Structure 1
Amino acid sequence: MKPRHAASLLIALILFAASLFAAPSEKTLICFGDSITAGFGLDVSQAYPAALQHLLDTRGYHYHVVNAGVSGNTSKDAVARVQSILAQHPDVVLVEFGGNDGLRGLPLDLTRHNLDSVLTTLQAAHVKILLVGITLPPNYGQDYIHSFDAIYREAAAKHHVPLMPMLYNGIYTIPGTIQPDGIHPTAKGSQLIAEHMLPLITPLLRK
């Protein structure tokens, strides 16, 4: 083999070896939601997206978790903001909306339509999705609550996306997990939310 060809081959092998040992490129996971995602009443480092980031880091998932929660947002606001989410080129989006719709007694068909629009837009961009549901206090009546809860099940089935049916499942009964307003999680509650989400999110991720 001529020296020049040998040198070229050596360089190619070095570059190939370097690519094998290079740090994996970081992907983006966006938590797209309302005040629960934003961490209302907490420091942003205590909200569940921050807890989720830590859990993914310790398990070897190279994802940057973005907190895109805005307090007071309804599903209508989600529709208005979804293009700004896509502009960040996410690989995975966690969709957490509807609680404020229900608390305000907004028409269920409106919430259903808005969630459908958000999921359709994200899927058209080939983004992986976890849909997160929530329920309402008992004083809203069982008929309304049952119809409200069904929105998430129907949306998940229609779009074939994984569903976390109730964000607070198993949390309300644990002392110190909910703030005095009875609505928003504490830092402890946010940590538990992230832990409960993890098994649903990891099938959507790559190491």
Structure 2
Amino acid sequence: MIVLTAAALGGAAVHAAEGPVKLVALGDSLTAGYRLPANAAFPAVLERALKARGRSVEIANAGVSGDTTTGGLDRLDWSVPDGTDGVILELGANDMLRGTDPAVARKALETIVVRLKERGIPVLLAGMLAAPNLGAEYRARFDAIYPDLAKAHGLVLYPFFLEGVTGHRANTMEDGLHPTAQGVETVVAGILPTVEIFLDKLKPGR
């Protein structure tokens, strides 16, 4: 009986030693929580939602307002430390708003994905859609970036990060772009099932 109890305790200790799944949300102001308190930003709200569903997770906020895909690439190594189990990659909105050539954004995002994969860090790719006023050709090229990269690299994809936010006044700030606290809750409710799929791929059974 003593041996069995010790073994059980040992197993529990090993499980506890594993600790929570550590995610990094790498993004722009949509991740950072523009004009919102830290506890209302996307990573914090998502972490609470996952914990409420019994998930042991920690999500670091590596969002920088105004950041582009190339900016995210430039700071990748220090934004995603060793020991990170997975990354939620949310970049591209600022490239689109500036009318940056979609080829530039595609290359930067793909380089981020490849470099993380080389480090053994899986990526959940959060997609973005181009604004209608940028024209059909630009929209087609930009909107294709995310599904193309997801297919090419076997990524879990959430097609549109701002689903349920864009065009909904209560969910956006006066600028019509950034989510309100309610908007962030909407984002989290939408992306939550995809994040759980991602987590199950990282740590089966958790």
TM-score by length of 1: 0.89
User: Identity rate of aligned residues, in percent?
Assistant: 33
Higher RCO (C-alpha 8 Å, min separation 6): 1
**Counterpart pick for 1:109 among 103, 108, 132:** 103
Determine the C-alpha separation between the residues in 1 that align with 2:193 and 2:114.
24
**Counterpart pick for 2:8 among 14, 17, 37:** 17
Is 1:143 the counterpart of 2:134 in the alignment?
no
- Aligned-pair CA distance for 1:84: 1.4
Query: What do you get for the CA RMSD once the two structures are aligned?
Result: 1.7
Question: What is aligned with 1:129?
Answer: 123
Question: What is aligned with 1:156?
Answer: 150
Q: Which runs of 4+ in 1 moved over 4 A?
A: none
Question: What is aligned with 1:68?
Answer: 62
Counterpart code for 1:18: L
For structure 1, list consecutive stretches of 5 or more residues without a partner in the other structure.
1-8
Larger radius of gyration: 1
**Any conservation in 1 of the 2:26–2:62 contact (CA below 8 Å)?**
yes
CA spacing shift, 1:15–1:86, aligned 2, 3 Å? farther
CA spacing shift, 1:175–1:108, aligned 2, 3 Å? closer
- Aligned-pair CA distance for 1:13: 3.7
Determine the C-alpha separation between the residues in 2 that align with 1:162 and 1:122.
14
- Aligned-pair CA distance for 1:173: 4.6
**Counterpart pick for 1:37 among 9, 31, 35:** 31
TM-score by length of 2: 0.89
**Counterpart pick for 2:188 among 179, 187, 194:** 194
Determine the C-alpha separation between the residues in 1 that align with 2:131 and 2:68.
17
